[in-house]
Amino acid sequence: MHHAAVLEERLSAGAKFETLLDDLLEMQDGFTFQSTSVKLLSVLDSPDKVFRVFTWNIPLDSGRYEFKGRILMRSPYRIMKLKDVSQNIQKPESKTLKNGEWFGATYYQISGPIERKGKTYTLLGWNGHNAYSNKKLIETLQINEKGEFLMGVPALFDGKRYQCRRIFEYAENVNMSLKFQEKGRRIIFDHLAPPQPAMEGVYAFYGPDFTYDAYRLKKGKWVFEKDVDARNEGDNKGHLPKAPERGLSAPAKKKQ
């Protein structure tokens, strides 16, 4: 899907892969499938083994990506196809999505559940925004009392307001670290800033400024903490979070 030089070939390969995956899931083999042979497919199991998330992407000539996804529920066995609506969402950090609508991303970590009017899970993902910048996001996913999936529930608190998801945008040629620590009870991430004040708000120039912020899980919500020590608490070796593997979290972009 990623290596063909011609867009039509990438799209054709992507369509064939999608059909093969759907056929596999329809045969109820989705929970036994091993993804190690498909490097650009991310497969994450919820920590409680209730569901499995499949996400992948296809690079476009514009520098953007077409994102695809499926959620597979274990009991009763059912499949939900995800539809990327990220290009059409107004104020995405405050928008709850349902019926398979989704802010497209390739996910690389998951934690949860936390109890918040239903089971709420937290996913970390990557979105190749365009040729000039990337995005990473903290996404919340809830299974409500009716068994419905909601993408983006207000579980992130910045001290003033609740957010459904948190989106970070940064320059295409830099890396941003975003990952769970302390067995999923803290999300640690690079603080992003422009190289000079005149570029404030021009996210294609943003990058890490060598400080870190975090969200800590407190009483069923993620509470923002500014300017934190990025070392894993209790780890006197001082290891800083590593960037996720390229290919799942941040595929190399096609050169323009």
User: What is the tens place of the pLDDT at every residue in 34-93?
Assistant: 766 667 899 999 999 999 999 999 999 888 899 999 999 998 999 999 999 999 999 999
Q: 92: which DSSP letter? A: G
Mean pLDDT of the chain: 86
Q: Residue 207 has which token pair? A: 């990058």
pLDDT value at position 250? 41
Q: How many residues does the chain have?
A: 256
* pLDDT mean over 239-243: 38
Q: Residue 179 has which token pair? A: 């990952």
User: Would residue 168 count as lying in a domain?
Assistant: yes
Per the structure, the complete domain to which residue 69 belongs is given by 7-225
- Measured between alpha carbons, how far is 170 from 52 in angstroms, rounded to an integer? 29
Given a contact cutoff of 8 angstroms between Cβ atoms, the answer to whether 53 and 110 are in contact is yes
User: Would residue 128 count as lying in a domain?
Assistant: yes
- Measured between alpha carbons, how far is 16 from 255 in angstroms, rounded to an integer? 25
Report the candidate in 134, 136, 139 with the shortest Cα–Cα distance to residue 95: 139
User: Would residue 245 count as lying in a domain?
Assistant: no
User: Would residue 241 count as lying in a domain?
Assistant: no
Does the pLDDT of residue 158 top 60, yes or no?
Answer: yes
User: Would residue 240 count as lying in a domain?
Assistant: no
Out of 11-15, 92-96, 230-234, 242-246, the most confident range is 92-96
Say whether 22 sits in a helix, a strand or coil. Answer: helix
Q: 256: which DSSP letter? A: -
pLDDT, one tens digit per residue, over 118-155 is 799 999 999 998 899 999 999 999 988 888 899 999 99
User: Would residue 145 count as lying in a domain?
Assistant: yes
- Measured between alpha carbons, how far is 149 from 205 in angstroms, rounded to an integer? 35
Q: 159: which DSSP letter? A: S
Q: Residue 47 has which token pair? A: 């920590």
Place of tokens 């799942």: 248
User: Would residue 187 count as lying in a domain?
Assistant: yes
User: Would residue 234 count as lying in a domain?
Assistant: no
**What total number of domains does the chain contain?**
1
Per 3-state DSSP, what percentage of the chain is helix, strand, and coil (rounded to 5)? 15, 40, 45
Q: 48: which DSSP letter? A: T
- Measured between alpha carbons, how far is 208 from 71 in angstroms, rounded to an integer? 32
